[in-house]
Structure 1
């Protein structure tokens, strides 16, 4: 035993000095075994550096604003996961053309390209399409005003971005942005026309972003099927699974002929417990849990790992020199701790502190209905916990990589919040010093406490989860730090249905109300020629002008339109076909835009008589001469035609 303890102590000393992996060759030489065996042994006896505690651990914090177009050339590179909105980080901006009418802007949307797809462009939160879909020009007021070219971030890119508008200074064929999903926009500020650009609009892009390594699509991984390979990014696939994203972040993205890491942690696949991530990914898929959002290269890598894992319902674990993970899911105990496994005395805490034991959580999530802002969902509360506590104890928790599609309820955010509430009710920490045979168990494993052992006290008969493991080489004692595991919490947590945040404002400017039917009337004119008379008064306090129009009954487009001030009391349209039927339209204009048309009529106008034709103005006669017919005498027609000839009208 003394020899075993000496070897174990030496291994722990070596492993403790290598917290991030490596050193197997040194350990192998010292122990006289293979590097693979030494690595496994060092991992088994290394002191655990982290715990799995959903409420006791600090929640992840990652940076990144998804909706604001930023203009900091020194800002870190964004990395976008899943289906989410990109704000764009401006990397180039110059004015050019005559009178500097063109403003050309190049924005980086995401690093670690190529990305999977860019699907939609938004201007001031409204979806728009260019002449070529995502490429070409966008027309405002009947004239092209915005041009766009995009790239997905191939490495290398075949050519630099170019939207064909002029020659932006300092930008040429060598201005490639290989490896970056990026976009070039040129905006025209010429001041011509009724609808022109007066300021730079807010532009955003919706896409499906970085590609990931999914072992489940790798035929070289046990149980996998497909061409995906961890060391070949050309085989990677798009994923919205937080665990697959976290595994990929741990591996990192590498680009260029020198295979430089441009994002992620850069771990070797041998330093990752891939099987644990695959198990967690399958559970997340089964629960419908997805991950999406924005992080940057300046974010702490462990915080990014925590945020991605949080969206998948768990946490990453430093299992000695190996990166592993834990996911919330119903578990079956894989071993039982008996009384004779104890070495010395253990300790236990019946509950966590009151501060860390809420009975309700208000989860914050990213909402597409709120144009990708982080908003609070309805508070998730456990009625039994509330009754036991006697008063509400709630807190807000942000889930930065949890999103909710438009029109859906934030069930995922509610379920994760429920797990956080339930886990906070578990008793922890429970420390049990055990015999050396327990060194093979790992954080996340579920064990059972022998119900017949009196020395275990109140924890006898309970299931527990390992949250930490340590070895004392001088006594050959393995100390497991445990947390109780209530099997009933899973059904409650997974049954939660999220309550979405109310949508308090629209993504577009408020529309003008349609004019009230009681405010306007249309009738046939009583003059000598056919006409329509529109009378009334504008009831809208925000209207700045009024549009009047008419069209033949049954037509879909207006024959004529006239704009008057908001104080106008009407309009008369003349020169109409004798005895014809017409519809009339009235609408309002304001700073908010245009109202819908108020449709009046149909109105049947009067007929043109020989007498009225003789006195009508030239334009009216020109429009109605062919309508004069059988109801007139030959003398009437001769008189009319003579008058038309005198007016020199063909």
Structure 2
């Protein structure tokens, strides 16, 4: 019989609401019909006495019909605030604001008045009204819609006097149980120990009226109308910034009554606590709640006169309850970065502007919601006091402008279960919330984008301006609905929807003009000028000795396909375009050859597709001194020196050392090279040797140029001894350029130097090939550089270094080898490195994303430095449940329950976060705080688990010391 009554007493037994015996008594009272025709006793009440209740021709029939209805299969897990019933599956009621509550029957029994022996003429009920601590007050009581008042002793006043009694506990601490006396009789089995601290409940008694005029239709439907649970109001908390008063979070003795949705949502997030145990609510630490957002919601609700009222049940999802509470305040809950907050319907000012140059990845746009989610008519369903607190469908709220735009009516019925319209009031709040739902359905979104870490301060609920003209967004206000940082990359991923300021005045009835639906702004396809801060330009001389301009920069426009580079001499009108460059990566471009020591202007523009953008002048610079100019100067100096020698020595004729003779010599050499296969060409041949006391420098330059191209061969050798330095150096360069923008160059630098107590040898060789961009195509560059260097000094330092760099269009890969006498190291910088066996098969591959592949790998000792960040990120720790997601999709959850279990019962384990697909197995493990060989109670799983949870039960083979101190569990699934 104990197992047969366990289900009927589950609510009372599982949460330990009353002392031992009341649960069984509630089962006997509610299910007494099952005992009819049997003998024996249930919870101390004889079956004959229970059957005697059935002699109440109408009264008992009404009571038993309620019991049978409560036991019907397929009922919802939620309870009803307008029906007085025994329903253990309904959960526990949590009443908010001013509302009606008919009660959850947890006790039923019969007895007789003292001296009355015909039959039990008193029917007793225990009604659970609300958990959540002390309430404000019970405003009135009705039986079948008729108001009934009671005197101080609990006896009814008026027509029900001596035939109805009631005692109510308002939810605070309770030192003794409710005590009600009707006709001298008391509830059987109900003692002073049956206390329900922190729970608002009532004892209600009906006395049989033999004439039948009082309870002819059975037990009347009770209705307690009151102002229910109290809440935490930060505005009345002196410890909260801007608050003033004694109200304190998590100290329910300081809470105040309110019907404000924002305050009820905040209190629900904090959780309701009794004796250090959470009875309902989320129970989040206040440090993990954005209190300021709930305060903003409370202020908006006060301004709009929005209220919350109704009854929630503990069997429902805590988050779903949170949504319904905030829905009454035109808000919705948010979870972001481990914080609970809310989004309030109110005008907002953009706090930042994110532009195209800030975006790291592709911007994804959804300009409109789906047709099903974009409606123009809403029928609000809400609780109406005039309709006996029933949920009714209100008048349709319609935006005729949208109906015309949609070419027909699109209607949606929306439930607002915690929105109430009291007697004598207009349905203003449901209509305003329905109007908000309509205009919100016309907002664009969702939009997704990502930025760098500089925008990490933007959080859910903020409004920013998104300025991406090329995508049709011109300073578009955007409400951020999600902000997720990626610790691995530093990126911040955002989701949002458009925010139309004018919709708020329309939804609140301040204007009759609905906001225009969101549309994209046709973009100006011409790219904007580059930001000059992203570019730099300098004058220089190339390694070949040619005057040049060096341009360095990075595109600040992510959508740019190419970079346009142009230059001109200062004061001229026409611009020359030496190159069209790729917009990817760092740009370093040399404009050469130019005129020596001449002022030039340089400008840069972007190209997107076939469209060239506006240009920005990035600098005015002077080119360097060309080597040919320097050679000409040297020749002039030679002429001057020869003239001096002529004057001093006064030997030979004046023309012997005349410059014309010297140039004639050069010219003779040049003339021997002025024909090539019968075609005249321009040729330059120069040989210059400079001799000083401690140095000799020899320069040889050979160049040729015509309409088909240019070719150079430069060689320079230097030796130097003096000033504590000894140097020997040779530099060679050959270069060929064609008129079709192709070019090739090879340079070689060899150097040996001793400087004080240091000696070093170096050789640097570079090979380069280029193709300048034409016709809108970016240019191409490929180069190979090899460096060999060796150095020692008197302090014992030694270095041998080798570098090989391969570069193609800005992408660099290479090898660096170093040896300092202590550590020899070889570094690779490649996207992929492969090692082959003699037969050509792959031995080892190191590929992109640091992936290593080896067909056969043997590891002698594997050392792991740190756990994978992705593995850690897939952990979810909470006080009562831990989740770990493994590679491949395996999910393991663990949890615990800590409370003393003294009988055979069942527990429902509800996963805080359900398995995405399936829970394969759940294993419960009993827990004892201290070991005892006499405890005869074990634990087992009941039935198969679901992705949402499982049921476990305790069982005993004897009646000895049946006790557990809780249990642990582990579940496996995907």
Select the residue among 154, 173, 189 that pairs with 2:172. Answer: 154
Q: 1:128 aligns with which of 148, 154, 165?
A: 148
Q: Which residue of 2 aligns with 1:449?
A: 466
Q: Which has the higher contact order (CA 8 A, sep 6+)?
A: 1
SS at match of 2:294: helix
Instruction: Map 1:206-605 onto structure 2 (within 5 A).
Output: 206-256=225-275, 259-450=276-467, 453-455=468-470, 457-495=471-509
Task: State the distance in 1 between where 2:384 and 2:271 align.
Answer: 28
**In 2, Cα distance between the equivalents of 1:192 and 1:344?**
82
Instruction: Decide which of 158, 162, 167 is 1:144's aligned counterpart.
Output: 162
Is it true that 1:111 corresponds to 2:125 in the alignment? Answer: no
Mean CA deviation greater in 71-80 or 105-114: 71-80
Q: Aligned partners of 1:151, 1:273: CA distance in 2, in Å?
A: 34
State the alpha-carbon separation in 2 of the partners of residues 135 and 195 from structure 1.
18
Residues 127 and 297 (structure 1), Cα distance of their counterparts in 2 relative to 1, 3 Å cut? same
Question: How many Å apart are 1:71 and its aligned residue?
Answer: 1.7
Contact 1:366 1:372 in 2 (8 A): yes
Q: CA deviation at 1:180?
A: 1.5
**Matched residue, 1:176:** 195
Show structure 2 runs of 5+ residues with no match: 1-75, 512-974
* CA apart distance, 1:213: 0.8
1:508-534 CA-partner distances (Å, limit 9, x unpaired): xxxxxxxxxxxxxxxxxxxxxxxxxxx
SS at match of 1:356: coil
Q: 1:454 to 1:62 in 2, by over 3 A?
A: farther
Separation (CA, whole Å) in 1 of partners of 2:211 and 2:127? 27
What TM-score results when the alignment is normalised by the length of structure 2?
Answer: 0.43
Partner of 1:87: 102
| SS in structure 1 at match of 2:247 | coil
Q: Classify 1:222/1:194 alpha carbon distance in 2 versus 1 (closer, same or farther; 3 Å).
A: closer
Distance (Å, rounded) in 2 between the aligned partners of 1:448 and 1:403: 37
- Once the two structures are TM-superposed, the CA of residue 73 in structure 1 deviates from its matched residue by 4.7
Question: Counterparts of 2:493 and 2:187 in 1: how far apart (Å)?
Answer: 66
Mapped pair 1:200 → 2:219: yes
User: How far did 1:68 drift?
Assistant: 0.7
- Give the distance between the partners of 1:437 and 1:310, measured in 2 at CA: 33
How has the CA–CA distance of structure 1 residues 490 and 151 changed in structure 2, closer, same or farther, with 3 Å as cutoff?
same
* CA gap 1:163/1:207 in 2 versus in 1, 3 angstroms: farther
Check the 8 A contact 1:62/1:307 in 2, yes or no.
no
* C-alpha contact (below 8 Å) 1:366/1:375 kept by paired residues: yes
Give the structure 1 partner of residue 643 of structure 2: none
Map 1:1-80; keep pairs closer than 5 Å: 63-73=78-88, 75-80=90-95
Deviations 1:54-95 (A, max 9, x none): xxxxxxx99442211112356421000000001111111111
Instruction: Say if 2:168 and 2:178, in contact at 8 Å, map to a contact too.
Output: no
Do 1:191 and 1:197's aligned partners in 2 also have CA atoms closer than 8 Å? no
Partner of 2:804: none
Other structure's SS at 2:472 match: helix
For residues 271 and 224 of structure 2, what CA distance do their matches in structure 1 show? 24
Kindly report structure 1 stretches of 4+ aligned residues shifted beyond 6 Å.
none
Structure-1-length-normalised TM-score: 0.64
Match of 1:189 in 2: 208
Provide the C-alpha distance between the structure 2 equivalents of 1:198 and 1:67, rounded to a whole number of angstroms. 17
Structure 1: segments with no counterpart, 5+ residues: 1-60, 498-650
Q: Cα 1:485–1:253, aligned 2, differ >3 Å: closer, same or farther? A: same
Query: Secondary structure in 2 aligned to 1:426?
Result: coil
The CA RMSD over aligned residues, in Å, is: 2.1
Measured in 2, the distance between the counterparts of 1:392 and 1:77 equals 41
Paired with 2:327 and 2:181, the residues of 1 have a C-alpha distance of 41
How far is 1:157 from its partner? 3.8
Superimposed CA distance per residue, residues 398-454 of structure 1 (whole angstroms, 9 cap, x where no aligned partner): 01111111111111111111111111111101122222211210111111133xx53
Contact 2:93–2:130 (8 Å) recurs in 1: yes
Assess, with a 3 A threshold, how the Cα gap between structure 1 residues 479 and 127 changes in structure 2: closer, same or farther: same
Structure with greater helix share of residues: 1
